[in-house]
Amino acid sequence: MSPRLTEERKEERGQQILDAAKRVFARKGYGAATLKDIIEETGMSRGWIYLYYQTKEEIFEAVLDQMDMDYEQSLEHLKAETSTIWQMIETLFARQQQELEQAEGGLMSAFYEYFLVGWRYPDRREVLTRRYERGIERFAQILQTGVSRGEFVPAMPVQDISRLVASFQEGIVAHTHAVGATKANTALQLKSLLRYLGSLLQRPEEEAL
CATH of domain 1-59: 1.10.10.60
Which pLDDT belongs to residue 206? 57
Give residues with Cβ within 8 angstroms of 161, minimum separation 6.
140, 143, 154, 155, 197, 200, 201
Q: What is the DSSP letter of 180?
A: -
CATH 1.10.357.10 positions along the chain are: 82-208
79-116 residue pLDDT tens: 999 999 999 999 999 999 998 888 666 788 888 888 87
CATH 1.10.10.60 positions along the chain are: 1-59
Confidence of residue 1 (pLDDT cuts 50, 70, 90): very low
* CA–CA dist 97, 100 (Å, integer): 5
pTM for this model (two decimals):
0.85
* CA–CA dist 184, 189 (Å, integer): 8
The yes-or-no verdict on residue 2 having pLDDT over 80 is no
CATH architecture under which domain 82-208 falls: Orthogonal Bundle (1.10)
